[in-house]
Amino acid sequence: MLNQEMINYWKKSACEDIITAEGLFRIGRYLPCLFYCHLFLEKIIKALVVKDTGKTAPFGHKLTRLVKFISSVNFTPEQLDLLDEVTAFNIKARYEDYKFAVHKKATQEYTQDYLTKTKAFYLWLQEKL
């Protein structure tokens, strides 16, 4: 796959995941919504990795590790903190022993806050492509 094809793949897939996250939020499925917030950020970050490196994005889900491959964007400490917080949704939504703990926190208000933050961050990253 050519670099532009990989970038387009990650962008399209991220866009689909935003739609999924919004749909999950609308029906009150807050924990899966948070998981998809992580997923769409991971995919737009991987598109930027391909753009900057000219190579396939590395495997992995830790967002702060992935952004280290992006040289064209300077991330603020606040943005890196958000990425760390969102990375936890990937783990906590997938493993049963963590699900229960985060499920209590995944209220409508909590989830709305992260959905709003991650969508805004996604749009900011998309501008860099």
Total residue length of the chain: 129
**How many distinct structural domains can be found in the chain?**
1
User: What CATH number is attached to the domain comprising 18?
Assistant: 1.20.120.330
State the DSSP code for 67: G
Q: CA nearest 64: which of 79, 48, 53?
A: 79
Q: Are 87 and 38 in contact, with CB atoms under 8 Å apart?
A: yes
Q: CA nearest 122: which of 71, 88, 86?
A: 86
pTM flag (> 0.75): yes
pLDDT interval class at 128 (50, 70, 90)? very high
Tens of pLDDT, residue by residue over 14-49, are 999 999 999 999 999 999 999 999 999 999 999 999
Tens of pLDDT, residue by residue over 52-106, are 999 999 999 999 999 999 999 999 999 999 999 999 888 654 556 665 666 678 8
Domain that includes residue 90, residue range: 3-127
